[in-house]
Amino acid sequence: MARLSRLVAVFLIAGLVTGTAHAVLGDIPFKRKKGAEAEASVPVAVFPHWVHRIRYKCYACHSALFEMKAGANKVTMEAIMAGKSCGTCHNGKTAWAVSFDTCARCHRGQ
Ligand code: HEC
Ligand code: HEC
Ligand code: HEC
């Protein structure tokens, strides 16, 4: 968690929150429980379904990685950075990795 707090701090200082696009049709915004202040200040992640659907068969994700139901999957940065969930692919090999440059690609807000 200490590591995540540092990431959040740098994310905020970098000002990446500003100027991000919002969800479009077909995107699935994640929901987040009310938590720490730092966590609340990073906009919620949005999953662009079509960007992935055109690249993968459904079974690449359903249901090995994700239940086929919006809101049914608990996703955390800890899991992603451990190479699970979105991090199965967003690891710098299959797809771009989590870094200060990429926070805002996923965290677009609703
Ligand atoms: C790269 C991974 C990935 C691929 C490939 C993928 N999905 Fe998904 N799908 C997700 C995620 C992530 C969610 C959202 C889950 C959540 O909100 O907890 C989702 C949600 C869904 C939902 C629920 C939508 C809702 O509003 O409840 C359906 C239906 C679905 N997917 C169908 C498909 C079909 C059909 C395909 C293939 C054409 C497909 N998915 C391919 C990751 C994927
Ligand atoms: C590949 C997509 C992706 C990237 C890149 C990414 N995140 Fe996340 N993150 C998510 C998803 C999905 C969730 C779960 C839904 C939510 O809470 O927004 C999440 C959750 C979070 C949370 C809520 C607490 C937690 O651990 O679940 C924080 C804070 C967070 N991310 C910060 C960051 C920061 C800071 C960066 C950049 C260093 C980053 N994220 C990069 C997808 C991503
Ligand atoms: C099966 C592998 C896989 C999984 C799982 C996966 N992604 Fe991706 N994702 C990709 C690939 C491949 C791309 C395209 C990479 C590129 O263009 O360089 C991509 C692109 C993206 C983009 C950029 C979309 C755009 O407009 O260019 C976002 C945002 C994203 N993923 C978020 C997520 C989130 C959030 C999750 C977890 C809920 C997730 N991805 C899970 C493979 C995956």
Per-residue pLDDT of 20-40, as tens digits, reads 455 566 899 888 876 655 567
Average pLDDT, the chain: 83
CA distances from 64 to 2, 45, 58, 82 (A): 29, 21, 10, 16
Average pLDDT over residues 38-50: 86
Whole-number Å distance, alpha carbon 40 to ligand 3 midpoint, is 23
pLDDT at 88: 98
Q: Which amino acid is at 56?
A: Y
pLDDT tens per residue, range 2-23: 667 666 665 555 444 444 455 5
pLDDT at 9: 61
Ligand 3 near 56 CB (within 6 A) = yes
Whole-number Å distance, alpha carbon 77 to ligand 2 midpoint, is 5
Whole-number Å distance, alpha carbon 103 to ligand 3 midpoint, is 12
Q: Give the residue, out of 62, 74, 75, with the most ligand 1 atoms within 8 A of its beta carbon, to mutate for a pocket test.
A: 62
Average pLDDT over residues 32-61: 86
What percentage of the chain carries pLDDT values higher than 90?
Answer: 60
Q: How far is it, in rounded angstroms, from Cα 67 to Cα 91?
A: 21
Q: How far is it, in rounded angstroms, from Cα 93 to Cα 18?
A: 28
Q: How far is it, in rounded angstroms, from Cα 88 to Cα 79?
A: 9
Q: How far is it, in rounded angstroms, from Cα 17 to Cα 42?
A: 7
Average pLDDT over residues 33-59: 85
